[in-house]
Amino acid sequence: MSVLLSLILITSLTSCSGVKQLEIFKKEVPREKLNLNKPTPLELENLRWIIITSENAEEVFKKLEEQGIDPVLWGLTDKDFELLAKNFAQIRNQLKITNDLLDKYKEYYEKEDEQK
């Protein structure tokens, strides 16, 4: 009887304190790729600027008529022309920055995907 009691006591005591096995979970689920195509680069038409002064105005309109073009012009003062040029330069700069930014993101994340 005492043997049985001792056995039960020892077994229960030794089973109380144990070392637990570590469980490390690692599950990687890749995000779906966006895969948007880059916009096609622009192909613009060249404009023709005509300068009209009080002295050459008649001659300019006459030339237009001779070329079969309606004798009508949209005008800008020299200051407005300057502003137009600067506005376009700013749009161009913004376009370049945005485009390069897009390239950098693509390069960074797609290279990462390739490495994986």
Partner 1 sequence: MVYLAQRQLIMLGIRLFFIGILASAVIGAGIYVMKLRSDNAILKANQIKLESAVADQQELITSQKKDFEEILGANKKMNELVGLLKKDLEDLDKRFNKKNRDVGKLAIAKTESIERITNGASALATRCIEIASGSPLTEKEKNATKKSEINSECPSIANPNYIPY
Tell me if 73 contacts partner 1 by CB under 8 A.
Answer: no
Quote the Cα angle for 10-14-15, to 5°. 120
Rounded to 5 degrees, what are φ and ψ at 6? -60, -45
Footprint of partner 1 on residues 30-59 (CB under 8 A)?
A: 38-51, 53, 55-56
Determine if 27 is a binding residue for partner 1 (CB under 8 A).
no
Query: Total residues at the site for partner 1 (CB under 8 A)?
Result: 53
Q: Which of 58, 95, 110, 113 binds partner 1 (CB under 8 A)?
A: 95
Closest CB to partner 1 among residues 3, 34: 3
Q: Is 64 exposed, middle or buried (0-12, 13-18, 19+ CB in 10 A)?
A: middle
